């Protein structure tokens, strides 16, 4: 198969998408009818789209979202108290631009993690760096970092990340080491980053989880006073759909 010299030059410059678009245009019988000045636009559009998708893929890989969720699949019909207007507002990612901290609480199975991942996916699409961690995993990584004397690396990762999702915080109270680490994470988010927290435990009981009134006040002052709270309720969506379609928590929420 012959390759046009220009396509080869584009590939050498790393413009693979533009090269493919150029070859497709050359193979199109009607390409000759397109004015010369109008041929460049589609090539540039293809290259820009490919670059955008590549950057999105990289952000999603680094985010490591637990579920493949997108806000367009959100089901507002499920009886769990999800405020459509508030969630759609969160979907605009303005909470990240304003360094605010959404909190999603509710019992097991109502879609907290799914909704958090959907918002994380939207943030990546909007160009924000995102990092997802379940609370036990985050604290375990910090504990390992302490033990291996490489703790500065973890705060550096968090500092470079615009928004952090801490999923499934609680119900176990924090250990002494975790009480030391959590305020550092919260302070790092203050005014220059965002934090999204999901928990089975209502915000009114978060002092119990922290286990220290002073630290609890500091954390709640940083997070809860700059937040959008979503308090879900109702039965597990998995149980609700046990005899019907796939659970919402797996395909949509």
All domains in the chain, ordered by first residue: 5-57 (no CATH), 64-251 (3.40.50.300)
CA distances from 150 to 37, 142, 154, 176 (A): 56, 9, 8, 19
Question: What pLDDT does 14 receive?
Answer: 64
Say which residues have a Cβ less than 8 Å from residue 98's Cβ, sequence separation at least 6.
Answer: none
The lowest-confidence range among 45-49, 133-137, 165-169 is: 45-49
A 10 A CB-CB count for 148 gives 9
Question: What pLDDT does 235 receive?
Answer: 80
pLDDT single digits (tens) 91-112: 999 999 999 999 999 999 999 9
Tell me: pLDDT of 76 over 70. Answer: yes
Among residues 43, 66, 81, the alpha carbon closest in space to that of 132 is found at 66
Residue 148 confidence class, pLDDT cut points 50, 70, 90? low
| pTM of the predicted model as reported, rounded to 2 decimal places | 0.78
Tokens 């150029």 belong to residue = 22
Mean residue pLDDT across the chain: 80
Tell me: pLDDT of 127 over 90. Answer: yes
Most confident of 172-181, 220-229, 242-251: 172-181
Residue 7 confidence class, pLDDT cut points 50, 70, 90? low
Among residues 206, 201, 240, 229, the alpha carbon closest in space to that of 110 is found at 240
Among residues 188, 193, 54, the alpha carbon closest in space to that of 128 is found at 193
Tell me: pLDDT of 85 over 60. Answer: yes
Say which residues have a Cβ less than 8 Å from residue 70's Cβ, sequence separation at least 6.
Answer: 118, 121, 122
Say which residues have a Cβ less than 8 Å from residue 156's Cβ, sequence separation at least 6.
Answer: none
- Integer Cα distance of 25 and 42 in angstroms: 9
pLDDT single digits (tens) 32-68: 556 555 555 566 676 677 778 888 999 999 999 999 9
Q: Which residues pair with 132 in a beta bridge?
A: 165
| Torsion from C-alpha of 43, 49, 51, 54, nearest 10 degrees | -140
Question: What pLDDT does 15 receive?
Answer: 62
Name the more confident of 161 and 30.
161
Tell me: pLDDT of 242 over 70. Answer: no
Query: Phi and psi of 168, rounded to 5°?
Result: 65, 50
Tell me: pLDDT of 253 over 60. Answer: no
CA distances from 200 to 62, 70, 152, 168, 205 (A): 26, 22, 30, 7, 10
Tell me: pLDDT of 250 over 50. Answer: no
């Amino acid at each position: 198969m012959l390759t046009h010299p220009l396509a080869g030059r584009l590939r050498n410059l790393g413009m693979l998408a533009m090269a493919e678009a150029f070859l497709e245009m050359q193979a199109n019988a009607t390409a000759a009818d397109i004015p010369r000045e109008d041929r460049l636009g589609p090539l540039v559009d293809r290259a820009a789209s490919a670059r955008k998708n590549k950057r999105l893929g990289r952000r999603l890989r680094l985010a490591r979202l637990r579920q493949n969720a997108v806000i367009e699949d959100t089901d507002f019909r499920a009886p769990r108290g999800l405020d459509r207007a508030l969630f759609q507002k969160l979907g605009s990612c303005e909470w990240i631009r304003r360094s605010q901290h959404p909190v999603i609480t509710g019992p097991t199975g109502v879609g907290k993690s799914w909704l958090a991942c959907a918002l994380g996916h939207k943030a990546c699409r909007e160009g924000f760096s995102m990092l997802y961690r379940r609370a036990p995993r985050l604290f375990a990584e910090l504990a390992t970092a302490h033990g291996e004397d490489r703790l500065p690396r973890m705060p550096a990762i968090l500092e470079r990340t615009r928004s952090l999702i801490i999923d499934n915080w609680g119900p176990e109270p924090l250990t002494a080491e975790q009480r030391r680490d959590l305020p550092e994470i919260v302070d790092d988010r203050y005014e220059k980053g965002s934090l999204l927290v999901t928990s089975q435990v209502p915000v009114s009981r978060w002092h119990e989880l922290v286990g220290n009134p002073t630290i609890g006040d500091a954390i709640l002052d940083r997070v809860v006073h700059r937040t959008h709270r979503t308090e879900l309720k109702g039965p597990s969506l998995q149980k609700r759909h046990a005899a019907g379609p796939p659970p919402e928590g797996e395909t949509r929420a």
